[in-house]
Chain A
Amino acid sequence: MGAKRQNLLGKLFVYGVLILVAALWTLPTIGLLVSSFRSGDDVTGSGWWTVFANPSEANLSLANYRVVLGIAGEGDEGASRFGGEETLNLTAAIVNSLTVAIPSTLIPILIAAFAAYGFAWMDFPGRKFLFIIVVALLVVPLQIALIPILRDYIKLDLSGTFLGIWLAHTGFGLSLAVYLLYNYISTLPRDILESAFIDGASHFTIFTRLILPLSVPALASFAIFQFLWVWNDLLVALVFLGATPEVEVLTQRLLGMLGTFGADWHLLTAGAFVSMILPLVVFFSLQRYFVRGLMAGSVKG
């Protein structure tokens, strides 16, 4: 009887602590979400939690979202100041973020998959030495490359271009990609490849027809990892896109809004939430792949 009661108390304690921690973890995000539906005066005049105290006076609307997306109507607060201006139109920044993030995810995967296959299934001089370099580069901080690469880019006219930032993200993500994909591709059963060779298939055919389809789980893991990384990146964007407003990505725009905010807290909240929607959707729909990717390669430079 005593043991049973103690057991029940223990269970209550475990569930209680977990609910408390989860609430604590979620509270800041809920605050932001609620604030993003409030008017500018409300956001700066009272705490977001007052909405729950008297819901009848809450006065929530989607106005902030309309303003930051550049589709504000007549009645929306701030529309007259920001409605037509490019400075606050996050839609442009969203398109830029996508233009940066999609190729910056796919190009390194493509190059890394070829390389991983080469390291796993081809024989050539210097194979081991080159792979050791890949492993060594895993943890090199990308800060070491910023100045030299920026100098190259200024000479090549690549600073502030999409091509430049794709290549930069490719370079910085590639060693992890090769390492992860090698670990996966090298464990594929050898017989499949050998029978394909006997049938006269070339490396290229085997790679595109056989290895790529078989590697989808590993490719997906890295893709999610890299996409979230690029989408959320600030430093690389600041350095290689920094001076060119037309190509500014979401994180840069948000940083700018943070610096000049004060008067426009309510717009900042909507902007921040807009920047989170895509990663959250990707994250929750593909969580399993993401976790697998995290576990496979836990070191990145």
Chain B
Amino acid sequence: MSKAYTRDKQSVSPLEWLATNLGRLLVSLFVPGITFVVLWRVFIFLRDGQAPQWITAIVAIIWGVGGALALFFVANLVVDQFSDQWKKRLHPFIFVGPAIVILTWYLLVPTLRSVYASFFDADGEVFVGFENYVYAFTSPAMLESFRNNLIWLVFVTGLSVGFGLLIATLADRTKPAFETVIKALIFMPMAISMVGASVIWKFVYEFRPPGAQQIGLLNAIVTGLGGDPQAWLLMQPWNNLFLIAIVVWLQTGYAMVIISAALKGVPAALLEAGRIDGANELQIFFKIIIPYIRGTLITVSTTIILFTLKIFDVVQSMTGGNFGTQVIANEQYTQMFRAFHYGRGSAIAVILLIAVIPVMYYNLRQFAQQTEAF
């Protein structure tokens, strides 16, 4: 139909034109109409649903995924009714459009809105200038958060990358089967939620008064060695380090896996040349291997820094930010959803954003360098 239409383009009378295009018009209106009605009906069913939970769940999953698929198909069908020239213009919008719309709604515009809201009071009504930022840089809770986040950044990044490098280097010198098992065991915590990890570590840090049976592993070891049991999570400021240990436990596997892959890429000839020149293993490690995988180490460190900057779950579930363990992301959550101070919550979020700008700049510069092929 579409081909016939283009060929006879010059000669058709208005009536014929209407007849050929009526079909297109119907398709363009009817199919999307039906799709929307069906999606809407199911939405109402889900919203008011009295069905058993698992049925609602299955319907919801099919509706959500199927709906997204259906919208793409329908949009494509509608565009296919246009002339070839318009098709060429409109197709990219179907492919790229949804992603851009969602990114704009969920990240781009919210960034601007948060910056705007950070200059207003708790309810977002009265302009207060830099008051929220003054609060963010002077209130005791925020100063404590800055201090703690700095401790977190240094220790989590240093220890995770350090342990990861150590384990990857050692494992590289063992038999492959052994290496696989060891790496899987150390990588495993990556699959566990931080809330789950918190439950696990409650059994390490649990404190019972002296004389009672210790059920926390750490105190059992301490008392077994003749020491006094400690309430680890209440010991300021050391309790931060005990929380940090949990995240190091989670992140070392990540660092190890990435570094391990980089180590496999170090050319054997290079190491051999070093050995022939009489370098010992330590020298080879520091003079050849480390410089060779420097790029990977930087990437891994950056990723862990970004992750640690926003650390939330562990603090929320272990101490709730009490006992001197507050961090920026948890303080932001507290301001938003406990104190309902949207202005302060936004200002703290903007501070987090400013903290990642160097990384964003680096990413964009990297992209600009590779961009000739784009």
Contact = CB atoms under 8 A, between A and B. Distances in A.
A298 B359 CA distance: 12
Give the size category of A's interface with B: 35 or more
B333 interface: yes
A154 interface: no
A299 B366 CA distance: 13
Given A14-B173, A233-B193, A295-B258, 10 more contacts: A111-B98, A114-B95, A122-B92, A128-B374, A144-B107, A174-B99, A258-B198, A258-B199, A279-B193, A299-B359
B107 A275 contact: no
Q: Closest 7 CB pairs between A and B?
A: A171-B106, A118-B95, A232-B193, A115-B99, A103-B64, A124-B92, A283-B191
Interface in B177-191: 178, 181-182, 184-191
A232 B356 CA distance: 23
A67 B96 CA distance: 48
Nearest to B199: A272
A234 B92 CA distance: 36
A56 interface: no
Contacts of B374: 128, 131
Interface of B: 43, 46-47, 53-54, 56-57, 60-61, 64-65, 68-69, 72, 76, 80, 89, 91-96, 98-100, 102-103, 105-111, 113-114, 117, 163, 167, 170-171, 173-174, 178, 181-182, 184-196, 198-204, 213-217, 220, 249, 252, 254, 257-258, 261, 281, 299-300, 302-303, 306, 309-310, 312-313, 316-317, 329, 332-333, 336-337, 342, 345-346, 348-350, 352-353, 356, 359-360, 363-364, 367, 371, 373-374
A242 B336 CA distance: 13
B57 to A, nearest CB: 4
Contacts of B317: 234, 254-255, 258
A230 B311 CA distance: 16
22 contacts: A14-B170, A44-B215, A45-B213, A47-B220, A106-B65, A110-B72, A111-B98, A112-B99, A115-B95, A128-B374, A140-B360, A145-B106, A186-B373, A202-B80, A228-B191, A251-B193, A254-B199, A258-B199, A271-B199, A280-B188, A298-B299, A300-B303
A171 B108 CA distance: 10
B116 to A, nearest CB: 9
Nearest to A119: B96
A197 interface: no
Contact of A144 (B80, B96, B353): B353
Contacts of B111: 140, 144-145
Interface in A110-149: 110-112, 114-115, 117-119, 122-124, 127-128, 130-149
Contacts of A207: 95
Q: Which of B188, B333, B371 has the most CB of A within 10 A?
A: B188
A15 B302 CA distance: 30
Contacts of A238: 333, 337
Nearest to A284: B184
B254 A114 contact: no
A26 interface: yes
Interface in A149-190: 149, 152, 161-163, 166-168, 170-172, 174-175, 178, 186
Contact of A171 (B57, B107, B191, B337): B107
A196 to B, nearest CB: 15
A18 B167 contact: yes
A87 interface: no
A299 B64 contact: no
Contacts of A119: 96
A99 B57 contact: yes
Contact of A234 (B194, B215, B261, B310): B194
A128 B103 CA distance: 16
A242 B316 CA distance: 14
A167 B102 contact: yes
A22 B185 CA distance: 6
A66 interface: no
B61 A280 contact: no
Most chain-B Cβ atoms within 10 A of its Cβ — which of A27, A123, A124? A124
Contacts of B163: 21
B312 A111 contact: no
Contacts of B178: 15, 18
B193 A92 contact: no
